Structure 1
Amino acid sequence: MKGPALGAVVVALILGGCATTTAATGPAPGPATAFNPTDVAWLQLVVPMTANALAAARLAPERAGSAAVRSAATAVVAPSERLLERLEAVRDRAGLPATDVHSGHRMPGMITPADLAALRTDGAGGFDRRLIALLRAHAAQLVVLARGEQASGADPETRALAADVSAEGARETELLPN
């Protein structure tokens, strides 16, 4: 299975699995909220995805060998910081813990601590290739996950934020060098 079909299955598994995990291990949104399990799962995934991608992009000024990679990564940082602030605010409004429920999971688009460690030890050429591949995968998965939130989420602010996250993922894909 490839392409959109695989993306749809991944979203369904991630969002379906997270909803169950959230109900069992994390506080449920309060009764006055409009958050459904898709909103919760999306926030619990996209917040750490964005934080980890931001950490990777911040390594570029000192580690990148190419000016194009340095420039592209730098162009990712400020918009990602703004999105992360908004994502964290909505997560907090939902009453969700700040912990990463996906820590240790290897998922599409998720830059892991092992990836960050490799970036810190790669030479300039290896760093450039790895960073661009990681940021491209991250940006593409943001778009896929945002579509799932927009289609199935209940909270209007979260769905609107998903539209902004999708637009940022598309922008990042365009600006990253091949």
Structure 2
Amino acid sequence: MRKVPLRTAGCLALAALLLVTACASGPPPTPAATTAAPPTATTAAAAPSSATTAVPVGSAAPGGSAGLFSPTDVAWLQLTVAMNERLLPVLDLMSSRTTDPAWLRFAARLGTAHRADLSTARRLLAESGAPTTNPHEGHDMPGMVTDGELATLRSATGVGFQRRAGQHVRAHLDQAVRIATAEQRGGVHPATRVLASAVVRTGNADLAGLARLEQQ
């Protein structure tokens, strides 16, 4: 994973989010408080509560979801957008790299669900007033398919493609479930947490479906 400088509140929140996921196999952390006293000038940049305290990120669009977006909400949405954008090309390759009906059905269903999640995440980001640029552009992070890996997939077919594609899909789903679980625990925006809950639920179901496919 390429190291990137943490220069903004959103990046600090993302670091906290990923720190939570690194401990996902241990005891569940105590849910973060959704309100906190205003930090002092000397601790504002480093205080962990800044990642979960509800603060206005930007002006919500008229008719947008109720509630404020915390930096954790925005960081999770941005990472979800980046991860889904990297996975969709893998799923799109299925139609030309394998003829297995079960894999084709799995990829089509997964693609439809991830495009819907991507659309929702982008809409929520717009409502939050966060910048429209992708802060993870060019970053190779857990759960993201790299350009080199995608090039390798394009040269594979049949069972070899299915094996490699399955590895990437599993890595994506594992990480997506972990960070969505962290958003459930540390996020504050209602609609964003609803999306995170859906990602956890469908992600676990898709992991089980992928395991069945690979056992065939």
| TM value normalised by structure 1 | 0.78
Identity of aligned residues (%): 36
- Tell me how far 1:35 sits from its aligned partner: 1.2
1:78 and 2:117 are equivalent in the alignment: no
Q: Which stretches of structure 1, 4 residues or more, deviate above 4 A after TM superposition?
A: none
Unaligned runs of 5+ in 2: 1-18, 25-55, 61-66
Residue 172, structure 1, aligned to residue 206, structure 2: yes
- Greater helix content: 1
Count of aligned positions: 157
Give the TM-score, by structure 2 length: 0.65
Q: Which residue of 2 aligns with 1:101?
A: 135
Q: 1:65 to 1:7 in 2, by over 3 A?
A: farther
Q: Which moved more, 1:117-126 or 1:38-47?
A: 117-126
1:5-154 matched pairs, under 5 angstroms: 8-9=21-22, 29-30=57-58, 34-64=68-98, 66-154=100-188
Name 1:24's counterpart in structure 2. Answer: none
Instruction: Supply the distance in 1 between the matched residues of 2:209 and 2:200 (Cα, whole angstroms).
Output: 14
Greater Rg, structure 1 or structure 2? 2
Distance 2:177 2:127 in 1: 23
Judging changes above 3 Å, is the alpha-carbon distance between structure 1 residues 97 and 127 closer, same or farther for their aligned structure 2 residues? farther
Kept in 1, the 8 Å contact 2:57–2:71? The answer is: no
- How far did residue 65 of structure 1 move? 5.0
Please identify, of 47-56 and 99-108, the stretch whose mean Cα deviation from structure 2 is larger: 99-108
Q: 1:10 offset after TM fit, Å?
A: 7.3
Say whether the 8 Å CA contact 2:73–2:183 is kept in structure 1.
Answer: yes
Kept in 2, the 8 Å contact 1:42–1:145? The answer is yes
Are the counterparts in 1 of residues 57 and 129 from structure 2 also a CA contact under 8 Å?
yes
**Runs of at least 5 residues in structure 1 that lack an aligned partner in the other structure:** 1-5, 12-27
